[in-house]
A and B are shown apart, each in its own frame.
Chain A
Amino acid sequence: MNCDRIGMLLERRWDGPLTEMEERMVQDHLSRCAACREEEEAIRLADVAFLDLADLEPPVNIAAAVAQRIALETTVEPRRAWFWALIAAITAAWSAVAHYGITLPSWVCDSLCIRVAHTAVASWADSVSWWLNPLTTALRAAGPILVPILILSAVLNGVLLTVWLTRRNAGSRGFGVKS
């Protein structure tokens, strides 16, 4: 048996006991090979050295510090949730106005590019109207109900997300933080 194989077995023996046959092979090889004996001695010496090594206690409570940092990072989330809910509501309102052509003062239309969007949507709707006609008609009919629902659901989504995150943070803040 070559030294590489014995080296592998020595490592495996460190992880746990070898089979009886493997152990016999190792002992047999060690009795003949000085290099592998040195290798085995180095493993045992390292074990003894690490047994003597001090196991140090961290000078501060790392878990508490980590919990506080994580809690601080997470509390930013509700504000972010509100921001995205607001963006969603504005987008829903903007697209509804653009699509259904609700009459707004001309300066509002110009500043929000509503006229451009409305024209683009109308020309796209005309080009696909032969197969989209029933769907477009249904959407136009449902418009007055659909638009408020879209806006409300976006806002409600933000509120629920905020409440959930706040409660979750309140529950986890202070956990593991020792005085």
Chain B
Amino acid sequence: MHPVALRGAETHPQEKLLVSRAVRGDQRAFNSLVESYQRRLFNYCFRMVGNAEDACDVTQEAFVKAWRNIGQFRVGEPFLPWLFRIAHNLCVDHLRRRNDNLSLDVEIEEGREPGDSRSNPETEAQESETRRAIEAAIADLPPKYRAVMMLRHGQGMSLEEIAESLSLPCNTVKVHLHRAREQMRSRLKPLLETTI
């Protein structure tokens, strides 16, 4: 997905209409929103939790939770950051549960990847070396850095929308983004410097 194509995750009139209908309890409208966003949310959850099966469960759970709490959504505000906030919290819960003996902070400090995103050997064989290096670089980012990178460069969100999605102050988002990019730059520069 081209990040530039996603830049400016502003609300479109059609989406606004669907959201306001969903808030009034229209399941059809909500399902249209699910159809529109399932791929983006799944990709985000996949990068966060590290495998497709868990990512599917978390994505489904996020949409069901969004439906249950749609009454709390304030019409007129951007829908996507609200949806991503639910998904992000579920991803964090999932990582915590999976590492119940390991606190998330320890994991973040040490930059460990809780899941293995490279579990399918057939797919792995088909992937280019560059792509695998990029996947690994993203997977090795601590979850809090991975989240901001996914939302900024993967979903094209503004800093304010990321702050809203992750319930963080905007300045913290900037710091995380700076450190995440720096970490990726030091790892991928030799590989990608010919491309830029």
Interface residues of A (CB under 8 A from B): 7, 11, 14-16, 38-39, 41-60, 62-63, 65-67, 69-71, 73-74, 168, 171-172, 175-176
Contacts and interface: CB of A to CB of B under 8 A. Distances in A.
A56 B101 CA distance: 31
Interface in B1-54: 1-4, 7-8, 27-28, 30-32, 34-35, 38-39, 42-43, 46, 52-53
Contacts of B165: none
Taking chain B's interface residues, is the majority helix, strand, or loop, or is none over half, making it mixed? Answer: helix
Contacts of B182: 38, 42
B144 to A, nearest CB: 16
Given A58-B42, A70-B30, 15 more contacts: A15-B7, A41-B189, A44-B196, A47-B4, A51-B3, A53-B134, A55-B43, A56-B39, A56-B46, A58-B59, A63-B31, A63-B35, A67-B27, A168-B27, A175-B27
The 9 closest A-B pairs by CB, nearest first: A42-B181, A172-B27, A55-B1, A50-B153, A42-B185, A176-B31, A58-B42, A62-B38, A66-B63
Given A58-B59, A59-B52, A66 B42 contact: no
B104 interface: no
B7 A16 contact: yes
A11 B174 contact: yes
B124 to A, nearest CB: 12
B108 interface: no
Given A38-B185, A45-B185, A48-B196, A7 B34 contact: no
B181 A53 contact: no
Given A58-B39, A62-B59, A175 B8 contact: no
Taking chain A's interface residues, is the majority helix, strand, or loop, or is none over half, making it mixed? Answer: helix
- Contact size class for B? 35 or more
Interface string B84-107: 000000000000000000000000
B56 A59 contact: yes
Given A7-B174, A52-B134, A58 B56 contact: yes
Contacts of A51: 2-3
B107 to A, nearest CB: 22
Nearest to A15: B158
Given A15-B8, A45-B196, A56-B46, A62 B63 contact: yes
Given A49-B184, A67-B31, A54 B131 contact: yes
B163 interface: no
Contacts of A54: 127, 131, 135
Contacts of A52: 130-131, 134
A148 to B, nearest CB: 33
Given A7-B174, A62-B42, A67-B34, A46 B184 contact: yes
B181 A43 contact: yes
Contacts of B178: 7, 39, 42
Given A62-B42, A176-B34, A48 B192 contact: yes
Nearest to B179: A42
B72 interface: no
